[in-house]
Amino acid sequence: MQRPQSHPIAEDVGAPCVLASWRPASAPRRAIITLEALRYSQQPLMAVPKRKTSKSRRDKRRAQHGISIPRVQVCPTCKQPKRPHRVCPNCKTYRGRDVEPLRVQAP
């Protein structure tokens, strides 16, 4: 029969501590996981939700994901529709000033 091993932290305190992996020689080998083994393991545990997310809670979160219609304004120079804060694609003006198109396409 094997002798029980004591844990290094338990030796500092002076209290005997028997590891959960101790077993008699005749016992079959199997993994026994205890809180103590998890505390000193190297692998972090994954976060797991305690409850299933309900359909209403899931849908409330997704309510912000709606697609909106692009905003359109009227160009003051040529009276054609254009996107706000952008150069008019029709007359190439921005805020009443003529703008030269880029020679090289911007990335």
SS3 19: coil
**Range of the structural domain that residue 76 is part of:** 70-100
Please provide the average confidence, as pLDDT, over all residues in the chain: 78
pLDDT tens digit sequence for 73-87? 999 999 999 999 999
The whole-number average pLDDT for the span 94-105 is 85
Residue 27 inside a domain? The answer is yes
In the prediction, which pLDDT does 71 show? 94
Please state, for a pLDDT cut of 70, what percent of the chain lies above it: 62
User: In angstroms, rounded to a whole number, what is the distance separating the alpha carbons of residues 81 and 97?
Assistant: 17
pLDDT score at 102: 77
- The two structure tokens encoding residue 84: 């706000």
pLDDT at residue 63, rounded to an integer: 94
Residue type, 91: C
> pTM for this one?
0.40
Domain count, the chain: 2
Report yes or no on 61 lying in a domain.
no
Are residue 2 and residue 37 in the same domain, yes or no?
Answer: yes
Asked whether residue 58 is domain-assigned, the answer is: no
Closest CA to 79 of 71, 87, 88, 70: 88
Please check whether residue 6 lies inside any domain of the structure.
yes
